[in-house]
Amino acid sequence: MLRRRDVMTVAATLAVGTPVRAFAQAGRAAAAGPILVTVFLRGGMDGLSMVAPVDDADYIAFRSPELRLLADGDKAALRLEGGPKTGDFRLHPEMAPLKALYESGRVALVHAAGISNGTRSHFAAQELTERGIGEPQDGARIKGGWVARWLESVGAARSPAFATSRGTPDSLALHPDTIAVADIRGGMNVPGGRSAARVLERLYGGDATGPIAAAGRRTLAGIRLIDSRLRAPDGKVAPYQPANGAAYDDTEIGRGLQAVARVIKMDLPIRAFCVDMDGWDTHENQPPRFAALAGQLARALGAFHDDLRERAAGVVLVAMSEFGRRLRSNRSNGTDHGHGGVMIVSAPGIRGGRIHGTWPGLASEMLDKGVDLAMTSDVRSVLAEVMAGPLRTPQAPAVVFPGFKPTRVGLA
Amino acid sequence: MALDTRTRQALSKLGFGPTAADLAEVGRIGLDAWLMRQLRPPADDGCGERIAAAHYRLKYKAMAPPDVDEDRPIAVISAPIQEHWAAVEKNLPMPERQFFRHAVALATLIRAAHSPWQLRELLVDFWHNHFNVNAAGDATVAVALPTYDRDVIRAHALGNFREMLEAVATSAAMQVYLNNRSSRGGAANENYARELFELHTLGRPAYLNALYTRWREVPGALMGRPQGYIDQDVYEAARAFTGWTIEDGAVLARRVRLANTGRFTYVETWHDPYQKRILATEIDPFQPPQSDGRRVLDLVAEHMATARYVCGKLCRRLVSDNPSDKLVGDVARVWMDNRRAPDQIARTVEAIARSDEFRRALGTKVKRPLELFASFVRATGIPMVATTALLGELDGSGQRLFGWGPPTGHPDEQGYWLSSNAMRRRWTLLLGLADNAWGAGLPQAAEAIAAQPTVAAAVTAANRTLLGTEPDARLVGAITAGLGIDPKAPLKGRGDAPQVARRLLSWCALSTPFQVR
């Protein structure tokens, strides 16, 4: 018999969003060990607008007051203790929630961090950073993204990873199971209801070959894992209730970190989460754009830490960008592609409340190619310390960055 | 390979897939004649009437009442930029400016579904990605988009690359998106110059900055033919383009402003006039207006690295994710040989379409959402009323038309289109289109399918409609399970036969053969 329910219009089903309860699998083991969350600030975040020595003569000389952090006035930057003794290091005035995390010891900053390769191309620099390699040709020898290799090194090669980007980020390249969903507030059901789900299960299931079938299987598995846990008993997507009064903004980074926190609380065997935040390529009209982004990032980080306070011991977060920006501003009231930048590390048990790394200074002879903040801490050195320390995977760095000799940053 | 299958393949790779009428036409005139016509389309694509009849539902809360809720005709996109430009200046609400992106996107859907010049439509999508601008992220780019789409991308999609490059460089959309309009001599803005080299022309493989720090070290430089570029070339090119800007009302001097029309202009006093060296070519100081920038465009357009990079991208789009070096090399030679020809791109595309590798590459590319949408609409005879709801669905599909943030354009590799999010949206798109969820119209092919005697015969008819082939056992099994009935059960005469028929179309389209091209 043809059941009428099965041929109800798709439009109606789409609107109602039938959950696929039959698929829900209970009792999968939760992640064994601390969880890694990476935040990628895409476009080249101007580290010298986030954290900088406001009294540095070269900083003052090369940038108009609008394009640098200031010691006083109504937009005075926030003073940071624990920075290099050579200057008055301060944080962007919109980033008070980050300052609080820093002062609590939970968060450390690494300045003059970046890649060893001198590329000023976004896409080359993002690829090197996310693949965790020094030179493009290393990609022939070292496969996939660094997060994918870390998952492999901790025995989670076949466990899902979660990304809030539109596609799979390069840091998870070659990881076979990434659930990429920008926003889970609407749930992630199978469209078309049970009948379509049955078709899809058989169409892509079992021994079906090819990339479409593989992607179909992976997607259905991701839906089984997460969608049922987003829903109330009546099948509707339950609105998320962050803990401890945490409030996420409706911004890319706010939605992303909110989704990550929500999935972390599901206690699934997911050990790696990758979040994207776009918009940092500020060649023009930088001051208001940077201020907005910095505020969004700091507020989202603040909310994320409030929300996950009870789980803080098991979560490690690292934020990075592909490069910093030019010391000298351009005449579009912006800055062009540079080199060294700032990384943010939030983890239990680290030497927080400090600015780590070696500050190379901004004198012309200290600049990379005479124009940009030099890189003194390789991103991989920072990540290696995070792996060996708070992630409790001391075996990982040698596997994730084969042939790379980390230098000490001082986080742990 | 059966002729019908070859025809379907060619029309799926060189366009958005065949309609029943296309198949009949190619049967009559032959694939070769079809290709030759497609390579030289007339300017008028016959979609004017449909575009004139289309509306975008513009709805927002105004700052002062009354609120706006109207069906705005999209036909205004055919006006020149100065007629749209007021939307930038008047400080209108965001939806008023984004209207221009939505209008161009709706026209794009109409043309993808209905234009007989399918190859041009496919290449328009290619070039919009190659010369990406983000109209969703910047309202000024959105206002400039109708002109960019019409006079820059469409006008040159099968034409000459050097001419296209200058049309892009002087367009308001690119001037705003990559900030060249605010670049000034003294400390030039490098954004456009860098992406010109890296994304528009020579490409990342030719960025040799990690290997060489001085221009004369680049192999070939001392003979005036450097193999690639380094940061010094970017800095110098940025200087060359200072003064290239648009009429946006910027201040020139005390009480003197530029006009405010959105059209290109050149401001000599903003130009850095001194000598430059770009790609090992010296440019003397104080050249005539725009001469420095044009010289850069000549140099990059005629560079061998550009031929390889752009032809590699064309092959990737038209053939497979990993075209062979041999194919790219062969095609790059055609590109170089025709670099001064007005139909350089058409000749290049013809070389790709006539290659053995193209013929062998059946089902090697995962369709993008726009391709999936248009091929389904065309195969099933959906009338394709362009609606705001449909556009909203496509915006979430992973291919937001004219709304990709970084200047790379959407990735052209299958991994991106097969993320879990993208997969769910592919399913939603096909299921919803078959059931007219967004008001695009019902699939006319469903009528004949509903008239089949049994469910099994209807599955066969649905699959033949989409792919011209018999359904395989897995598909039949999956559909039987989905319906929960015996395939031998009668269909014709059932009250719900039309719904079943529509659903069969979408389910057949979920199978791998329809998901690839």
Task: List residues bridging with B265 in a β-sheet.
Answer: B245
Q: What mean pLDDT, rounded, does chain A reach?
A: 90
Distance CA B67, CA B81 (A): 27
* Torsion (CA) A89, A91, A96, A100 in degrees, nearest 10: -50
**Count of H-run helices and E-run strands, chain A:** 12, 12
Are B187 and A337 inside 8 Å of each other by CB? no
| pLDDT at B244 (0 to 100) | 98
Q: Cβ contacts of residue B177 below 8 Å, gap of 6+?
A: B133, B134, B138, B141, B407
Does the pLDDT value for residue A268 go beyond 60?
Answer: yes
Distance CA A320, CA A182 (A): 19
C-alpha to C-alpha distances, A44 to A52, A96, A335, B82, nearest whole angstrom: 16, 22, 10, 34
Distance CA A270, CA B420 (A): 15
- B153, B127 in Cβ contact below 8 A? yes
Amino acid code (one letter) for A177: D
Residue A370 sits at the chain B interface (C-beta within 8 Å): no
- A317, A260 in Cβ contact below 8 A? no
Phi, psi angle pair for A345, to nearest 5°: -120, 125
Distance CA A12, CA A272 (A): 36
Are B414 and A281 inside 8 Å of each other by CB? no
The residue to which tokens 């595309």 are assigned: B349
For residue A258, give how far its alpha carbon lies from the nearest alpha carbon of chain B (Å).
17
Give the model confidence (pLDDT) of A85-134 as tens digits. 999 999 999 999 999 999 999 999 999 999 999 999 998 999 999 999 99
Mutate to test the interface with A, among B423, B430, B449 (most CBs of A within 10 A): B423
Write out the two tokens for B231. 């940061």
Q: Cβ contacts of residue B333 below 8 Å, gap of 6+?
A: B307
Residue A16 sits at the chain B interface (C-beta within 8 Å): no
Distance CA B52, CA B37 (A): 26
- B315, B309 in Cβ contact below 8 A? no
Does the pLDDT value for residue A230 go beyond 60?
Answer: yes
| pLDDT at A235 (0 to 100) | 85
Fold of A33-185+249-400: Alkaline Phosphatase, subunit A (3.40.720)
Q: The dihedral of CA B318, B324, B327, B331: what is its sign?
A: positive
**Contact residues, chain B, for A285 at CB < 8 Å:** 182
DSSP line for B86-151: HHHHTT--HHHHHHHHHHHHHHHHHHHHH-S-HHHHHHHHHHHHHT---TTT-HHHHHHHHHIIII
Residue A278 sits at the chain B interface (C-beta within 8 Å): yes
* Torsion (CA) B136, B142, B146, B152 in degrees, nearest 10: -80
Mutate to test the interface with B, among A2, A133, A322, A325 (most CBs of B within 10 A): A2
**Contact residues, chain B, for A218 at CB < 8 Å:** 420, 423
| pLDDT at A16 (0 to 100) | 34
Distance CA A219, CA A222 (A): 5
Does the pLDDT value for residue A9 go beyond 80?
Answer: no
Residues of chain B with pLDDT under 70: 1-3
Give the model confidence (pLDDT) of A156-192 as tens digits. 998 899 999 877 899 999 898 889 888 888 888 888 8
C-alpha to C-alpha distances, B191 to B7, B176, B182, nearest whole angstrom: 43, 11, 11
User: How many Cβ atoms sit within 10 Å of the Cβ of residue A209?
Assistant: 8
Mutate to test the interface with B, among A283, A293, A321, A323 (most CBs of B within 10 A): A283
Residue B184 sits at the chain A interface (C-beta within 8 Å): yes
Distance CA B353, CA B349 (A): 6
Closest listed residue to residue B483, CA positions, set A188, A197, A296, A357: A197
| pLDDT at B362 (0 to 100) | 80
Phi, psi angle pair for B55, to nearest 5°: -130, 155
Are B427 and A191 inside 8 Å of each other by CB? yes
Band (pLDDT 50/70/90 cuts) for residue A13 is very low
Are A223 and B420 inside 8 Å of each other by CB? yes
Domain ranges of chain B: 369-515
Secondary structure element (H or E) that encloses residue A274, with its range: strand A272-277
The residue to which tokens 């982004």 are assigned: A293
Band (pLDDT 50/70/90 cuts) for residue A14 is very low
Domain ranges of chain A: 1-30+187-239, 33-185+249-400
Give the model confidence (pLDDT) of B425-452 as tens digits. 999 999 999 999 999 999 999 999 999 9
Are A284 and B182 inside 8 Å of each other by CB? yes
Q: How much is the average pLDDT of A228-232? A: 90
Phi, psi angle pair for B279, to nearest 5°: 50, 45
Give the model confidence (pLDDT) of A203-229 as tens digits. 998 788 999 999 999 999 988 889 889
| Cα B138 to the center of its chain, rounded Å | 19
* Torsion (CA) B189, B195, B200, B201 in degrees, nearest 10: 90
- A342, A45 in Cβ contact below 8 A? yes
**Contact residues, chain A, for B474 at CB < 8 Å:** 202-203, 208
3-state secondary structure A371-393: CECCCCEEHHHHHHHHHHCCCCC
Distance CA A95, CA B117 (A): 53
| pLDDT at B1 (0 to 100) | 42
| pLDDT at A191 (0 to 100) | 86
- A11, B436 in Cβ contact below 8 A? yes
Give the model confidence (pLDDT) of A25-71 as tens digits. 333 456 689 999 999 999 999 999 999 999 999 999 999 999 999 99
Residue B211 sits at the chain A interface (C-beta within 8 Å): no
Give the model confidence (pLDDT) of A278-308 as tens digits. 999 999 999 999 999 999 999 999 999 999 9
Give the model confidence (pLDDT) of A373-411 as tens digits. 999 999 999 999 999 999 999 999 999 999 999 999 999
- B141, B134 in Cβ contact below 8 A? yes
Closest listed residue to residue B287, CA positions, set B460, B278, B68: B278
What ipTM describes this predicted complex?
A: 0.92
| pLDDT at A15 (0 to 100) | 34
Half-sphere exposure of A217 (CA within 13 A, CB side): 13
